[in-house]
Amino acid sequence: MAGNRNGATGSGKDFTFVNSFVKYLLFFFNLMFWVISLLMVAVGIYARTVKHAEATLTSLSLDPAVMLIVVGVLIFLVTFCGCVGSLRENICLLQIFCISLVVIFIIQLAAGVLSFIFSNKARQKVTEVINDAIVHYRDDADLQNLIDFGQEEFGCCGAATYLDWSNNIYFHCNQTNPSRERCSVPFSCCILSRNESVVNTMCGQGMQEREFAEAGKEIHTSGCIDILDDFIHSNMIVLGGIALGLAVPELVGMILSQLLINQIKQQIELQQYNLNHSSDPWS
């Protein structure tokens, strides 16, 4: 049978072998994302258990910890098929891997197109998420830090306007509200001077009671939705590049898996051909 591996088998056709470079490139490609998926699941489980995210973020439309776990498990299953399929040269697993990537790619493409077509509904949904986050601002330290970071980074306050902070029980302007932060906004809404080395955490005190123009001298009065919308429109090229960067690994996985599937099929067909003709005395 040594002659079979080196090329010819009598009057039969030459054997072709699976390209080792394609095989192991696909294996290590999937192994990398397989490890990443395990890290995502671990972080998601940590957020759900140790930090009790379910108790503080239950009213949010999408729990980040749950989303991280779901996405991590999905990537784990898909890349597992890619890893085992490439290593064992299993056509069935490779086809599952390739089809899964195609489906994910189509879903991403459809989501992008639909979010562009139904931009108003997408904007409304994001507004709801931000308002829910405002309501639970004091309930979770990580959520609070995330909101503060976003408002400081984008120079905004609230969802549509700084008055949205009245939706939080601590900042509500009701006269019966006993909180010391009544009618205030978080310090992250404040317009900070470049020379200011120490942040005054009470700078947003009573800002909701002031007139719009007067409040605008000390805090950002524009909502984060409008600022975020302007940011997206002014950075379409960069965001498009990021989206393309996310799609490239999927396209690479599809191409490599399809190449490997074709090579395995050719090898099986040629082996079957040589097997049939080697038993035929008239061949």
Q: CATH number of the domain at 171, please.
A: 1.10.1450
Which residue type occupies 47? Answer: A
263 and 182 assigned to the same domain? no
Q: Return d(Cα 191, Cα 204) in angstroms, integer.
A: 10
Query: Are residues 9 and 99 both part of a single domain?
Result: yes
Give the span between the Cα atoms of 222 and 226, in whole angstroms: 7
Residue 280: pLDDT band (50, 70, 90) is: low
Q: In this structure, is residue 22 part of a structural domain?
A: yes
Quote the pLDDT of residue 125. Answer: 85
pLDDT of 48 > 70? The answer is: yes
Q: Is residue 283 part of a domain?
A: no
Give the tens place of pLDDT for each residue, 163-201: 999 999 999 998 899 999 999 999 999 998 766 667 788
Which residue type is seen at 104?
A: I
| SS3 of residue 222 by DSSP | strand
3-class secondary structure, 114 = helix
Question: Averaging pLDDT over each range in 17-21, 63-67, 88-92, 127-131, which range is the top one?
Answer: 88-92
- Specify the number of domains making up the chain: 2
pLDDT band for position 18 (cuts 50, 70, 90):
confident
Is residue 115 one of the residues assigned to a domain?
yes
Q: Within this chain, do residues 14 and 84 fall inside the same structural domain, yes or no?
A: yes
Buried b vs exposed e over 29-57: b needs ≥16 C-beta within 10 Å? bbbebbeebeebbeebeebbeeeebeebb
pLDDT level of residue 51 (50, 70, 90 thresholds)? low
Shared domain check, 194 and 60: no
| Whether pLDDT at 59 is above 70 | no
- Please return the burial class of 275, using the count of CB atoms within 10 Å of its CB with bins 0-12, 13-18 and 19+: exposed
155 in the same domain as 48: no
Same domain? For 94 and 84 the reply is yes
Residues making up the chain, counted from first to last: 283
Judgement on whether residues 145 and 199 belong to the same structural domain of the protein: yes
The answer to whether residue 165 sits within a structural domain is yes
**Are both 32 and 111 inside the same structural domain?**
yes
Answer yes or no: do 113 and 158 share one domain. Answer: no
pLDDT digits (tens, 9 = 90+) for 264-275: 999 888 888 888
Question: pLDDT digits over 211-254, tens only?
Answer: 889 999 999 999 999 998 888 888 888 878 888 888 899 999 99
Same domain, 196 and 271: no
Given 223, 246, 263, the domain boundary residue is 223
Answer yes or no: is 232 within a domain. no
| Mean of pLDDT over the chain | 84
User: Amino acid identity of 35?
Assistant: V
Q: Which domain holds residue 67?
A: 2-119+237-278
Q: What is the pLDDT of residue 3?
A: 39
Quick one: 29 and 115 in the same domain? Answer: yes
